[in-house]
Amino acid sequence: MLVLIALTLLKVVGIVLAFVMLVATIMTWADRKQSALIQDRIGPNRASIGSVRAAGLIHILADALKTLFKEDFTPRDANQGLFRIAPFLAFVPALLAFAVIPVGDTYCPDGAFIVQNFRDVCTAGAQADYFRVSNMGAGLLCIFAIVSLGVYGASIGGWASNNKFALIGGVRVTAQMVSYEVTMGLTLVGLLMIYGTVDLNEMVRAQGTLLWGFVPMWGIVTQPVAFFLFFTAAIAETKRPPFDIPEAESELAAGYFVEYSSMRFALFTLSEYVASVLVAMMVTTLFLGGWQVPYLYGDGLHNPMTGDLALSIPYLLVKVIQIGAFCFKVLALCWLQLQVRWTLPRFRYDQLMKLGWKVILPLSLINVLVTGLWLLVAA
């Protein structure tokens, strides 16, 4: 029991606090730099330690310190208790969802395994989950359950503020998040049909299979339509631009968190960036093969044509490469989200609802039927 707790704490610190939080905070900087690039400005570059400016990265530290020294107050007319607790309701589910995402493959004790059917099968003892926090069997459903709880932070925060902007923002955010939650779920049905599991690590392992002998069976190959639909719906679920109608500054000031200040405000914004990282991780895990590197299995690189071992690599190094590949994919998708954010203008609310209910929802239903027919005919 103590071992379990210690190991879990280690994983939590390593995956969630170190990786996720780090990427989320760096995204706050990258967001500003990206906007500067697109608008032909220089962007943040003033904060410095001594003479080190690190391309403006010091601003992350400066912002965090500044926010810590700001006043945290509750407006007189707000519902005190709910107002104070709402940032937690946004922040905790945002972090909780990372529990079931596998950063790397399960680990075989003593490195004893054979490569069978494009996956490492342990020969001595049970495989150990060192690279994800919780080995929840219904991992994907668990993520959806947690994401669905994320609505409360924004809606209760907006309601408790007792402010007109906040209330409109809160209502909009609830309607938007619930609409896109449905579409997110529906786009993934086709994926579940192909891989036949809701366990995320099993799903990644299945994506190591080769199609026609040389194409890795990543989700983006087997379900290209679902990839675009899911990515769109997931960005909308994070309520970041171009889907940021709930906090549209030109009409709602800051939307549901307009009354928040200092760290409570920072928790809201941080949880939005954390949600972006979650989108990147989910898309990586479901559609981009997670920690998979094409043709790389536990013992090394395989020749896709013959299936023989082409380059032997030590087991531990393979694990490191795989985790590195996962991180690379996640960072690339985070960057892609920033690119989308600064390329597309904000949607109108009716367009947003139309996109979710009238485009993505029917398309994903058709996708399910087509996938079903295709699998049936192929068999």
Partner 1 sequence: MEAFFFYLFASLAVATALAVVFPPMRGARAPIHSAIALVACFFCVAATYAMLQAHLLAVLQVLVYAGAIMVLFIFVIMLLNLQTDETARTEVGFVKVLSGLLVLATTAGVIGFLRNDDVLLPISKQLVAQVAHPETYGSIEEIGKLMLSEYLFAFELTSILLLASIVGAVVIAKRDPRSTFMPEALKQQLYRERHGKSASGRKGGA
Partner 2 sequence: MYEQYITLGILAAVAVVTGAAILFLNSILGPKRWTASKLDTFETGNEPEGDARQRFSIRFYLVAILFILFDIEVVFLFPWAVLYRQYIAAGLGLFVFIEMLVFISILGVGLAYVWRKGALEWD
Site string for partner 2, 15-44 (x = CB under 8 A): -xx---------------------------
Beta bridge partners of 257: none
- Binding of partner 2 by 361 (CB under 8 A): yes
Distance CA 60, CA 17 (A): 16
To partner 2, the closest distance from the beta carbon of 129 in angstroms equals 9
DSSP 358: I
> Is 49 strand, coil or helix?
strand
With CB under 8 A as the contact rule, the residue among 170, 190, 208, 289 that binds partner 1 is: 170
Contact assessment for residue 242 and residue 347, using Cβ atoms and an 8 Å cutoff: yes
SS3 category, 179? helix
Range 187-226, binding partner 2 (CB under 8 A) = 189-190, 192-194, 196-198
**Separation CA 24–CA 19 (nearest Å):** 8
Say which residues have a Cβ less than 8 Å from residue 285's Cβ, sequence separation at least 6: 101, 102, 200, 203, 204
**Nearer to partner 1 among residue 83 and residue 297 (C-beta):** 83
Binding residues for partner 1, how many (CB under 8 A)? 25
Question: Considering only residues 245-274, where is the footprint of partner 2 by CB under 8 A?
Answer: 253, 258-259, 262-264, 266-267
Verify binding: residue 353, partner 2, rule CB under 8 A: yes
- Considering only residues 195 to 254 of the shown chain, the ones binding partner 1 according to CB under 8 A are 198
**Least distance in Å: CB of 278 to partner 2?**
13
- From candidates 36, 64, 149, 210, binder to partner 1 by CB under 8 A: 149
Min separation Cβ 98 and partner 1, Å: 16
Binding range to partner 1, per CB under 8 A, among 17-25, 58-66, 133-141, 313-321: 133-141
**162 CB-side CA count, 13 A:** 11
Among 45, 127, 135, 148, binds partner 1 (CB under 8 A): 148
Residue with tokens 């597309």: 344
* Contacts of residue 221, Cβ cutoff 8 Å, sequence gap at least 6: 211, 215
> What CA–CA distances, in Å, run from 315 to 113, 268, 321?
10, 41, 10
Q: Cβ closer to partner 2: 81 or 324?
A: 81
Positions in 99-128 near partner 2 (CB under 8 A): 99
Buried b or exposed e, range 34-64, using 16+ CB within 10 angstroms: bebeeeeeebbeebeeeeeeeebbbbbebbe
Region near partner 1 per CB under 8 A, out of 26-34, 47-55, 132-140, 266-274: 132-140
Q: Which of residues 51-110 bind partner 1 (CB under 8 A)?
A: 79, 82
Q: Which residues bind partner 1 (CB under 8 A)?
A: 79, 82, 136-138, 141-142, 144-145, 147-149, 151-152, 155-156, 158-159, 167, 170-171, 174-175, 178, 198
